[in-house]
Amino acid sequence: MAGEITVLHVDDDEAFAEVAADMLEREHPDIDVEVVSDGSRALELLDEDGFDCVVSDLEMPGLSGIELLERVRERYGDLPFFLFTGRGSEEVAGDAISAGVTDYLQKSGDGDQYKILANRIVNAVEAMDAEREARRNRRRFEALSDAFPDVAFLIDADGRYLEVVAGEESPLLYDEAEALEGRTFDEALPEDVAERFQDAVDRCLDSGDLVTIEYELEVQAGTRWFDAHVAPVDLDDVDDGAVVWVARDVTGRKTREMEVRESRERYRSLFENNPAAIWEEDLGDFKRRVDDIAGEVDDLDSYLEQNPDEFKSLLAEIEVLDVNERAVDHYEAESKEMVVEGLDELFTDVAVERFRDVAVAIAEGRKSFRTLTEIDTFEGNRKQEILEIHVPEAYGGGYERVYVTTVDVTDLVDS
* CATH architecture of structural domain 148-250: 2-Layer Sandwich (3.30)
Q: What is the pLDDT of residues 80-136, one digit of tens each?
A: 999 988 766 566 677 788 888 898 888 876 778 899 999 999 999 988 888 887 777
pLDDT at 139: 62
Helices 14-27, 112-147: crossing angle, 10 deg rounding = 70
CATH superfamily membership of 274-414: PAS domain (3.30.450.20)
Residues of the chain within CATH 3.30.450.20 domain(s) are: 148-250, 274-414
| CA 52 – CA 124 distance, rounded (Å) | 9
pLDDT at 105: 86
Considering only CA atoms, give the Rg of the chain.
Answer: 43
Residues of the chain within CATH 3.40.50.2300 domain(s) are: 5-144
Pairing of strands 31-36, 5-10: parallel
- Residues 167-183 as b/e (b if ≥16 CB within 10 A, e otherwise) read beebbebeeebeebeee
Q: Any idea what the Cα angle at residue 64 is, between residues 62 and 67, rounded to 5°?
A: 110
CATH of domain 5-144: 3.40.50.2300
SS3 letters for the chain?
A: CCCCEEEEEECCCHHHHHHHHHHHHHHCCCEEEEEECCHHHHHHHHHHCCCCEEEECCCCCCCCHHHHHHHHHHHHCCCCEEEEECCCHHHHHHHHHHHCCCEEEECCCCCHHHHHHHHHHHHHHHHHHHHHHHHHHHHHHHHHHHHCCCEEEEEECCCEEEEEEECCCCCCCCCCHHHHCCCEHHHHCCHHHHHHHHHHHHHHHHHCCCEEEEEEEEECCEEEEEEEEEEEECCCCCCCCEEEEEEEECHHHHHHHHHHHHHHHHHHHHHHHCCCEEEEEECHHHHHHHHHHHCCCCCHHHHHHHCHHHHHHHHCCCEEEEECHHHHHHCCCCCHHHHHHCHHHHECHHHHHHHHHHHHHHHCCCCEEEEEEEEECCCCCEEEEEEEEECCHHHCCCCCCEEEEEEECHHHHHC
For residue 293, the tally of other CB atoms under 10 A from its CB is: 18
Q: With a cut of 50, list the residues of the chain below it in pLDDT.
A: 1-2, 143-147
pLDDT at 1: 44
Q: What is the pLDDT of residues 347-366, one digit of tens each?
A: 888 988 888 998 999 999 89
| CA 41 – CA 230 distance, rounded (Å) | 59
CB 249 within 8 A of CB 236: no
Smallest CA-to-CA distance from 356 within 277, 414, 297 is with 297
pLDDT at 170: 55
Whole-structure pTM value: 0.43
| CA 76 – CA 43 distance, rounded (Å) | 10
